Structure 1
Amino acid sequence: MKKILLINDNDTYIWCLQKYLQRRGYPVETASTLKEARTVIQEEMPLVICCALDLPDGSGMGFLDEVRATDKELPFILVSCHDKEDYEQEAKQRGATLCMDKMKGMLLQDMLVEYACRQLSGEKAPTFHTLLFVHAEDTSAGVLRAAMQQKGFDLILTPSIGEAKRRIFEDKEIELILCDVDLPDGTAMELFHALRRVAGMSQMKNPPVRLLLFFILTENSDLATEYEYRHEGVNDYITAPVNIPELIRRVLFFVE
């Protein structure tokens, strides 16, 4: 089996990532410099490449050019602690498959497994959308996250309104919020109205704070309740148990 190639000069970071992938059954090759990485790909092109933007002997962007000169389709993920707005547009133009925040370790692990799996099965890599799921119950949230991951959706899980607010303002990749109706520190509508107030107060800013798409998830299928939420401005209302294909169809209606 071809290997996943990890290129990073942080020994601890790359060791943790390598061990996770190996436990999932994927062989891994590591390199701490571009020189070492070139030696690896000369012997055999890897299954997926995950490369740091900054390395001791050069830039991951330059290595991306070298790889694309011989292989236009190989999944190539660039990781960095820099703001993606500083380099993502150029990286995508030069052929990067994905640009990711280096500190989002769990999400990066999932992306590597997803791309490796699709490479082995011959499937086309998906276009990923990032959703924030504010959930009241860990187990069902994990199940939903795994199911959506297979369909090309990243679900960031947060167990409270307080944590959700922090993630929303820090993570510019979030496109839509899926929120359980009742949470340990409040309700979905309290979060929705808080975000609406912040967005309304920031319209004079450049750029203004976005009012993200907002879905409510509940076991209550009462039409009057659904009408009330929609009247308040909520984009959609999902009843449990969640039908994954239906949820995806409704999400894509708004984000695409």
Structure 2
Amino acid sequence: MKKILLIDDSDTYTWCLQKYLQHRGYPVKTACTLKEARAAIQEEMPLVVCCNLDLPDGSGMDFLNEVRAADKELPFILASCHDKDDYEQEAMRRGATLCMDKMKGLLLQDKLVEYAYRQLSGEPDSTFHKLLFVHAEDTSAGALQAAMLQKGLDLILVSSIGEAKCRIFEDEEIDLILCDLELPDGTAMELFHTLRRVAGMFQMKNPPVRLLPFFILTENNDLATEYEYRHEGVNDYITAPVNIPELIRRVLFFVE
């Protein structure tokens, strides 16, 4: 399998990205300089390129020119600490796929997974949806994540209400929320009502958080509880054991 190429002179930064991507099943090649990056693409064209704007022996913008001379379609992300207004227009003119703030590491991870998935699917315009899964334990979360990605559903895993709030209000591309009923710092319904209340107060858009489909996953199969939660606005109530194909079918009904 082709590799995702990460180019940055910070070993710590590329190590964190590499570990995440490898955990998601994608092989990774790293380079600290343009010289190393050139050697990597001469050996094999990568699946996706993520390159810092400033490198010890040159500019990521120059490397973008070299890559575009060899391949017009390869996803190329420029990641930098610089204000995007200072370079984005020129980068897009030269053929960059995306420019991102490298300090927004979680969002960058998601984009790398998205573009890698599109490349491997063989359909660059294939549908890709990002879902947030707020889970109490990760025993089955990894298996669920892998199964759903095969259908173009990228499951982002967080393990607390606090993490979920930060991610939801930072990320405009989340299409749906899956949430275990009981969590270490509260319940799914507490998160549900908080999102609806905060979104309404600040009239949040892109997407409107208060309208994000919200699924609860639980071992409680009491019909009265399900009716109560649905009456309050929860979109679906999934009881254990989770039937993954059925869950995927229900998710697709809301996001497509």
TM-score by length of 1: 0.72
Residues 182/112 of structure 1: CA separation in 2 closer, same or farther (3 Å cut): closer
RMSD of equivalent CA atoms: 4.3
Note the alpha carbon deviations across 1:28-77, whole angstroms, 9 max, x for none. 362523x5534543x344232322241232244x6445434432443434
CA distance in 2 between counterparts of 1:155 and 1:135 reads 11
Q: How far is 1:3 from its partner?
A: 5.2
Unaligned 5+ runs, structure 1: none
- For residues 150 and 82 of structure 1, the distance between their equivalents in structure 2, rounded to whole angstroms, comes to 35
Amino acid at match of 2:46: L
C-alpha separation between the residues in 2 aligned to 1:11 and 1:230?
A: 48
Aligned-pair distance for 1:218?
1.6
Residues 137-152 of structure 1: matches in 2 within 5 Å? Answer: 137-152=137-152
Q: Distance in 2 between matches of 1:198 and 1:76?
A: 36
Q: CA deviation at 1:191?
A: 1.1
Question: In the TM superposition, what whole-angstrom CA distance separates every residue of 1:225-248 from its partner, at most 9, and x where no partner exists?
Answer: 333222211122222222223222
Change (3 A) 1:76 1:216: same
8 A Cα contact 2:10 2:32, kept in partner: no
Aligned to 2:201: 201
Query: Can you list the C-alpha shifts for 1:175-199, whole angstroms capped at 9, x where unaligned?
Result: 2211111222222111111111111
Partner of 2:29: 28
Aligned to 1:210: 209
Q: 2:131, 2:153 within 8 Å by CA — same for their partners in 1?
A: yes
- Look up the equivalent residue of 2:135 and give its one-letter code: H
Q: What is the deviation of 1:216?
A: 0.9
Aligned residue pairs, count: 249
Q: Give CA-to-partner distance per residue, 1:66-93, whole Å, 9 cap, x none.
A: 43443244343444457889959x8599
Specify the SS of the correspondent of 1:146: helix
Which residue in the other structure is 1:168 paired with?
Answer: 168
Find the counterpart in structure 2 of residue 50 from structure 1.
49
Q: Percent identity?
A: 62
Matched to 2:6, the amino acid is: L
- Give the SS at the match of 1:216: strand
Equivalent residue runs for 1:53-72 within 5 Å: 53-56=52-55, 57-60=58-61, 63-64=63-64, 66-72=66-72
CA 1:19/1:132 → structure 2, altered by over 3 Å: closer, same or farther?
Answer: closer
1:103 is displaced (CA, Å) by 5.1
Residue matched to 1:239: 239
Structure 2: gaps spanning 5 or more residues: none
Pick closer, same or farther for the CA change 1:63–1:223 going to 2, 3 Å: farther
AA of the residue aligned to 1:152: G
Bigger shift: residues 13-22 or 122-131: 13-22
List aligned pairs for 1:53-132, cutoff 5 A.
Answer: 53-56=52-55, 57-60=58-61, 63-64=63-64, 66-80=66-80, 94=95, 96=97, 104=105, 108=109, 111=112, 115=116, 119=120, 123-124=122-123, 127-132=127-132
- What TM-score do you get using the length of structure 2 for normalisation? 0.72
